[in-house]
Amino acid sequence: MTKYDPLIKKCRLCNSVNIFKFHQAENGSQIYKCSHCKVQFMNPQYSDEYLTDLYSSYIRDETQLEEKLVKSHSYCLQLIQECAFVKGKLLDIGSGNGYLIKIAKQRGWDPTGHEINCDSAETLHVKTGIRILCGEIYNLNIEERFDAISMLHVIEHLKNPEKYIEKIFSVLNKKGVLFLALPNIQSPSSLFKLILEKTKLKTKNVAAYYDTGHHLWYFSPHTIRSFLEENGFKIIRIYSGENINLNRNKFFNVIDEKILSKVLWHSSMGVIARKL
Ligand SMILES: [Zn+2]
């Protein structure tokens, strides 16, 4: 089996050819950085064959975490509701165990789920009774338009995030809400891992700075903001944690995103954006 694709010659997010090798991970994977948009990504990326094999053995036993996951997905939906102008059609890309779509249905949304793998999509449909799309989202012919689209911990796994965002833009209603959850490569816990790696103090039970087992893209608040803004979205908020006040003074949001994201934020961040 071929593990890697050919080397990427230009940044897929901004098309700049000014990309350079930035880091070599323990498993041999190389991380590149784009000089223009600053995003970091695995290069070369894993082959389709390798990823299919990897995800076929990817068993998500979340029974221990169920209560916590219901709570965190409810909170994501609450933020989507605070920003959406109508409680209408919601598309959740990469639905996994279906927490978000099930909660959305209970709260009066008309949800549609999605899974890349069609067998997983069918299993989820049987379990929830909710329509589940399957395949790469940018290859699907989707006629309807959505009022909100969520994609939780998916974008960092995609080979072509730019194709996903382009498709999301085209199937979202004007002023529709996009909600993303993803790791923040600039979070204090990430930086701590990097220091351990650089000083050779990292032990086996500490996760690597770059999760090259699964993740192909590594975003910071700055890089995810520029990527979405370049693709026709207005950022409502990039945040970490809970109890988010969406109406507070914008000045605090700037401090939060530019400074506190590096010293106080959790390893995951949420992004709420609106289609212009
Ligand atoms: Zn770039």
Q: Residues 122-169: pLDDT tens digits?
A: 999 999 999 999 999 999 999 999 999 999 999 999 999 999 999 999
Distance 128 CA to ligand 1 centre (A): 39
pTM of the predicted structure, to 2 decimals: 0.93
Distance 10 CA to ligand 1 centre (A): 8
Instruction: Work out the mean pLDDT of the chain and round it to a whole number.
Output: 91
> What is the set of domains in the chain, with CATH numbers?
65-184+219-275 (3.40.50.150)
Distance 46 CA to ligand 1 centre (A): 19
Nearest to 79 by CA among 48, 100, 57, 49: 100
Distance 276 CA to ligand 1 centre (A): 22
The secondary structure of residue 256, as a DSSP letter, is I
Distance 223 CA to ligand 1 centre (A): 9
pLDDT digits (tens, 9 = 90+) for 16-72: 999 999 888 878 889 999 999 999 999 999 999 998 888 776 656 677 788 899 999
Distance 95 CA to ligand 1 centre (A): 28
Nearest to 105 by CA among 134, 82, 73: 73
Residue in the block written with tokens 């608040």? 221
Distance 227 CA to ligand 1 centre (A): 9
Range list of H helices, 35-65:
48-56
Distance 4 CA to ligand 1 centre (A): 21
Distance 65 CA to ligand 1 centre (A): 36
Question: Phi and psi (nearest 5°) for 243?
Answer: 55, 50
Cβ neighbors of 12 (< 8 A, separation 6 or more) are: 41, 160, 161, 162
